[in-house]
Amino acid sequence: MLKSISFFNQITIWWDIFEFNSKVDKYSVLVDGVSSFVTTKTHFTLNNLNPSTEYKIIIKGFFGKNFVDEKSLSIYTKKAKTPIDVTCQPYCAVGDGKRLNTAAIQRAIDDCREDEYVYFPSGIFLTGALELKDNLELYVDSGATIQGSADVNDYLPQKRSRFEGIERNCYRSLLNLGKLDNKGGYTSGNLVIRGQGKILGGGRELFCATLDKPSVVYDENGPHTPEAVDAWRSRGRLIEVCNAENVVVCGLTVGMSSSWNLHFVYSKNITTFGCKIISHGINNGDGWDPDSCSDCAIFDCEFHTGDDLVAIKSGKNPEGNIINIPCENIYIFDCKSIGGHGMSIGSEISGGIKGVYVWDCDFSDSWYGFQIKATKKRGAYVKDVYVSNCKLSCVLIWAVGYNDDGDSSVKTPVFENFNFKNIVVTGTDYFIKVKTSTQIRYIYLEGFGQTEPIKKVSFDGVTLLVRDGNCPKIETKHVENVVFDNVTRK
């Protein structure tokens, strides 16, 4: 499987390491029959190409000097487009970081034809919520920032959204595409958001403004009254895409939403690459959240988030069971954490999650590395997870008790068929700090009970790194058919 993303002067290609021969350790790339470069990564980008031109790509896999496998494709670059500069007539947006440009930018978006793109030159363009459309491209140039307002009124009227697994009305996100409809299929799409600039939300100030309501009680652990829960779950995202297909976000620094940053719901074929995703001082400041989506990929990204780096979701009990739209075929590779909580599958899994593929990632600088989690109420399943060639602070597969309000599903979740190969686990002291453990944690597996164990888990080629003189431990409880091969402690 080779996947490609084409612009008028650039092509990015990526492939699934699990479908290429597993013994490959480097790749030779040929363009139009000419050897171009060698890479150990499972993606590459060709720049300075000609518009509307066919390029024939061959990727040869080698183990050492020995040829192992080969894949090829032909791809056309897109036609060149004409820029619509938001600072020019009739839009006249001002990039001074002070003037609110919502109306001007929205007009440029509405006017943009398929042979044009909306262009942001250098400057800080303050704006409230913007409604995107099909077949649209936004280009944020180096030195340019689309800066979300910190005034909660700039994100009205509220719209239908999904937060923490429940459909409800929320403030609009900074960038919005599509209308939420769990029975509607894919009704929007072909959106590109790219460049070398920044898209930043209202951050902590907007977070506090959204929660600044009478009777709201919350602290660093979350909401504590019904009013607080309602305000908490009404926060918008940075970018939210609903019921869409074929969406690309690339090259940008994005973040500082009042909650999650990149959120995709009931959507298909979402690709994010070459981005820095940042979020600090924000509860639920997740980086990249596919929610009841399929065929999504994120790669070559760096996370500086104050919550989950990636959080894969599919709804909350019992509403998520009834809607029953799973998250399937999610690919995460060549990504790195600089702080943040870690990568999560769950806890909202009530539509099911199946087919998650993670490789060549370094999440060692995170609280818990990689985790699969759910409460007993969720129902549904998490199945067929493959993790390879990764460095992780910890591996957690476990039943949790938080975010557990609402009615229960009639069934306990099924956790099965998780495969870890060639991983390094550095250990985390996070659980010591929050007083839920007395020791550095490495690998921890805990099912939902003796009659609802985690099933079919394999670890092959695991290195546990000694921290602070502690002997690395593997802890298991309520598990079945768990295999550990080639485990070493260093």
Write the DSSP string, 186-204. Answer: --EEEEEEEESSEEE--HH
pLDDT at 296 over 60: yes
Domain boundary pick from 306, 326, 347: 306
Report residue 293's pLDDT band, with 50, 70 and 90 as the boundaries. very high
Q: Are residues 274 and 194 in the same domain?
A: yes
- Distance separating alpha carbons of residues 320 and 298, to the nearest angstrom: 24
| Number of neighbours of residue 152 by Cβ within 10 angstroms | 22
The pLDDT of residue 470:
77
Full domain range(s) for residue 58: 2-76
Token digits for 286? 């997740």
Q: What is the pLDDT of residues 120-136, one digit of tens each?
A: 999 999 999 999 999 99
Q: Are residues 67 and 87 in the same domain?
A: no
Q: Are residues 12 and 159 in the same domain?
A: no
The pLDDT of residue 213:
63
pLDDT at 487 over 60: yes
| Number of neighbours of residue 377 by Cβ within 10 angstroms | 22
pLDDT at 1 over 90: no
Q: What is the pLDDT of residues 215-252, one digit of tens each?
A: 566 665 677 777 778 888 999 999 999 999 999 999 99
Q: Mean pLDDT for the chain?
A: 94
Q: Which amino acid is at 2?
A: L
Mean pLDDT of 177-194: 98
Q: Percent of the chain at pLDDT above 90?
A: 85
Mean pLDDT of 37-61: 96
Q: Are residues 302 and 313 in the same domain?
A: no
Q: What is the pLDDT of residues 68-112, one digit of tens each?
A: 989 999 999 999 999 999 999 999 999 999 999 999 999 999 999
The pLDDT of residue 241:
98
- Distance separating alpha carbons of residues 8 and 91, to the nearest angstrom: 25
Q: Are residues 345 and 301 in the same domain?
A: no
The pLDDT of residue 266:
98
Mean pLDDT of 196-211: 95
- Distance separating alpha carbons of residues 251 and 264, to the nearest angstrom: 18
Domain count across the chain: 3
Specify the CATH number for the domain of residue 316: 2.160.20.10
Specify the CATH number for the domain of residue 40: 2.60.40.10
Q: What is the pLDDT of residues 242-275, one digit of tens each?
A: 999 999 999 999 999 999 999 999 999 999 999 9
Tell me if 342 sits within 8 A of 367, measured CB to CB: yes
pLDDT at 214 over 60: no
Look at the block and give the residue holding tokens 């299929």.
Answer: 185
The pLDDT of residue 193:
98
Domain boundary pick from 45, 76, 107: 76
Q: Are residues 282 and 354 in the same domain?
A: no
Q: Are residues 257 and 393 in the same domain?
A: no
The pLDDT of residue 215:
54
Q: For residue 428, what is the DSSP state?
A: B
Q: Are residues 484 and 382 in the same domain?
A: yes
Q: Are residues 312 and 201 in the same domain?
A: no
How far the first Cα of the chain sits from its last, in Å, is 36
Burial 416-434 (b: 16+ CB within 10 A, else e): bbbbbbebbbbbbbbbeee
The pLDDT of residue 220:
59
Q: Are residues 281 and 411 in the same domain?
A: no
Q: For residue 153, what is the DSSP state?
A: G
Q: For residue 155, what is the DSSP state?
A: G
Q: Are residues 26 and 146 in the same domain?
A: no
The pLDDT of residue 189:
97
Domain boundary pick from 76, 92, 125: 76
The pLDDT of residue 441:
94
Cα dist from 256 to 146, 150, 223, 308, 375, whole Å:
12, 11, 20, 14, 28
Mean pLDDT of 276-282: 93
Q: Are residues 188 and 284 in the same domain?
A: yes
Is the pLDDT higher at 434 or at 106? Answer: 106
Cα dist from 326 to 292, 294, 316, 320, 345, whole Å:
5, 8, 12, 9, 12
